[in-house]
């Protein structure tokens, strides 16, 4: 890794995390195309490199949320219980089955685009929607964990819009989604590192680049989490909706 590549990775991680951490999105979903198209990370090493970014960047936002007493709770534990086994399954599938990314991108776009549009709509006076049950949330977290293990995306990019769209406040969802992304990414990165010992090809993370991007995300995540209490829930919902639309549109273009 050259100095210019490291600085570019740091800047990308910083800018992305500032914008995404207030709504519980790690930013890995936006960093993934940057790593492939700009930084030249090979596949499937780009997936564990993205997970390494989450591991290094995560404590920035999580530290801030912990100081304000919003970290932890039953939702965080429930998401972690689902995403951790999912990411192990996803890593094995990614290395040995190598599913095509186009179908996944179209499925994610089909989910996030309508959710993003719905979140961006002006609020109307209506009965609040019931949050999903514990079983539904656990199954959703398991599916997101598998997707994260295969493609190296932060689970918050999927969990956030769904849970907020189902009636949960952003201030509750964001810390829980980031915490589950952090723990899941540790397990996923370790799984890929172990698989690289018995598998040929670019399976292990690009350690230096992942650290450079993650350090940028560490700073950006703390700043973004610090901004969250200053923003009303309507603005956070709008930001989450815009991010969901941006991710969905990006995946449609890539597919």
200-225 confidence digits (pLDDT tens): 666 778 889 999 999 999 999 999 98
pLDDT by residue (tens digit) across 163-213?
888 888 888 898 999 999 999 989 988 888 888 887 766 677 888 999 999
Give the tens place of pLDDT for each residue, 60-113. Answer: 889 988 888 888 789 999 999 999 999 898 888 877 775 556 766 776 688 778
Span 6-58, pLDDT tens digits = 999 999 999 989 988 888 888 887 887 788 778 888 777 788 888 899 999 98
Q: What is the pLDDT of residue 27?
A: 82
C-alpha–C-alpha distance, residues 25 and 157, integer Å: 5
Per-residue pLDDT band at 253 (split at 50, 70, 90): confident
Q: What tokens appear for 82 in the block? A: 């689902």
Residue 234 confidence (pLDDT): 84
- What is the pLDDT at residue 128? 58
Per-residue model confidence (pLDDT) at position 124 = 56
Alpha-carbon gap, residue 71 to 179, rounded angstroms: 8
**pLDDT over 60 at 114, yes or no:** yes
């Amino acid at each position: 890794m050259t100095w210019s590549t490291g600085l570019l990775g740091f800047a990308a991680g910083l800018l992305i995390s500032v914008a995404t951490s207030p709504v519980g999105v790690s930013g890995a979903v936006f960093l993934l195309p940057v790593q492939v198209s700009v930084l030249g990370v090979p596949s499937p090493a780009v997936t564990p490199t993205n997970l390494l970014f989450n591991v290094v960047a995560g404590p920035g936002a999580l530290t801030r949320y912990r100081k304000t007493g919003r970290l932890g709770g039953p939702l965080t534990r429930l998401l972690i219980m689902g995403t951790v086994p999912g990411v192990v399954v996803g890593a094995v599938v990614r290395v040995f089955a190598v599913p095509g990314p186009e179908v996944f991108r179209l499925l994610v776009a089909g989910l996030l685009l309508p959710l993003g549009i719905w979140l961006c709509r002006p609020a109307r006076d209506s009965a609040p929607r019931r949050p999903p049950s514990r079983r539904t949330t656990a199954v959703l977290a398991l599916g997101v964990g598998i997707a994260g293990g295969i493609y190296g995306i932060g689970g918050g990019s999927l969990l956030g819009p769904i849970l907020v769209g189902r009636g949960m406040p952003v201030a509750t969802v964001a810390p829980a989604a980031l915490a589950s992304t952090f723990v899941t990414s540790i397990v996923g990165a370790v799984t890929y590192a172990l698989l690289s010992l018995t598998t040929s090809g670019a399976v292990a993370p690009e350690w230096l680049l992942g650290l450079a991007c993650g350090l940028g995300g560490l700073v950006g995540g703390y700043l973004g989490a610090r901004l969250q209490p200053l923003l009303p829930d309507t603005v956070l919902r709008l930001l989450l909706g815009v991010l969901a639309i941006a991710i969905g549109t990006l995946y449609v273009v890539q597919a």
